[in-house]
Amino acid sequence: MKKITLCLMLFGAMYSINAQKINLGKAAGMVSNGAKALTFTNEDAVKLSKESVDWMDKNNAVAGPKDPYTVRLNKLFGKHKSQDGMNLNYKVYKVKDINAFACADGSVRVFSSLMDIMTDNELLAVIGHEIGHVKNQDTKDAMKSAYLKAAALDAASSASSAVATLNESQVGKMANAFLDASHSKKQESEADTYSYDFMKANKYDVVGAYTAFKKLALLSEGSTQSNFEKMFNSHPDSNKRAESIKKRAEKDGLWKDPGTVTLPTAKLTK
């Protein structure tokens, strides 16, 4: 398995099956004093995001156009390639980590193992959340930090205000540096809201957002540690976020009790 990295991690968390851990590498040290001279624009974030995603696509197993995972994703999101003023592109990484991410250039990548445990409505909610991060431009600061780490810049060496061109090795380091990205509770809440509104506006079942969070909560519980490893302890509480979705759905008259949410024992196709 080649390296793989995450731009904006699925609902603030990433889980890895013990049988196949992904080598995430280590980002360079923190930048001293923030390289204040650098002018970093949204256009820079888009350009560097595309370079990072191109690197990841080359270094990981991508499902082909006729692969069942690709067929399913296209069926779900084919009509959303132009969404809310954004041009989006979707691919599936055939890896055992459970995740999805989105980047400033509109790239959305979904992991096959996530698709194995999520229903169509849950996937719609997950990717809607990631699209929300793109729409809200949450990637800009994370990309700037990753760029500075990859270029080994600090305040003393950042006299230039322009973004330099990175070599392939640096692009790989920049991609992996996205692992350091974290988002505020406000950013996560806004992405949750975007996801719910996306579901509601397109007449999808908003309860899918609730059950997706409940499944993520199950993945992080001790009873599931034989199959899943909780990678981060600081991500927002999934149960609380599920309850927030429930309250809003009840207010909108869209709540339908899904019953007890469990992790599937077989791959889901819908």
Residue-wise pLDDT for 4-15, tens only, equals 433 445 555 544
190 noted as active-site residue? no
If one counts every other C-beta atom within 10 angstroms of the C-beta of residue 36, the result is 8
Candidates 193, 188, 195, 14; CA nearest to 93 is: 14
Query: Over 50: is that where the pLDDT of 16 sits?
Result: no
Query: Please, are residues 16 and 140 in contact by the beta-carbon 8 Å criterion?
Result: no
Between 15-24, 101-110, 172-181, the lowest mean confidence (pLDDT) is in 15-24
* Mean pLDDT on 134-151: 76
pTM: 0.78
Percent of the chain surpassing pLDDT 70: 68
CB-hemisphere CA count at 13 Å for 167? 2
User: What pLDDT is stored for residue 10 in this prediction?
Assistant: 57
From the list 51, 122, 130, 188, the catalytic residue is: 130
User: What pLDDT is stored for residue 164 in this prediction?
Assistant: 59
Regarding predicted confidence, which is higher, 36 or 69? 69
User: What pLDDT is stored for residue 242 in this prediction?
Assistant: 96
* Mean pLDDT on 228-232: 38
User: What pLDDT is stored for residue 165 in this prediction?
Assistant: 67
Candidates 65, 60, 61; CA nearest to 75 is: 65
**φ, ψ at 113 (rounded to 5°):** -70, -25
Percent of the chain surpassing pLDDT 90: 40
User: What pLDDT is stored for residue 268 in this prediction?
Assistant: 85
Which token pair is 195?
Answer: 């996801």
Confidence of residue 48 (pLDDT cuts 50, 70, 90): confident
Mean pLDDT of the chain: 77
pLDDT (tens digit, 9 = 90+) per residue, 148-181?
Answer: 777 765 434 444 555 656 666 777 666 766 645 6
Place of tokens 């007449």: 203
Specify the 3-state DSSP secondary structure of 83.
Answer: strand
User: What pLDDT is stored for residue 180 in this prediction?
Assistant: 54
Query: Over 50: is that where the pLDDT of 25 sits?
Result: no
* Mean pLDDT on 55-75: 93
Tell me the sheet residues that pair with 158: none
Query: Over 70: is that where the pLDDT of 120 sits?
Result: yes
Candidates 16, 29, 26; CA nearest to 179 is: 26
First to last CA, the chain: 27
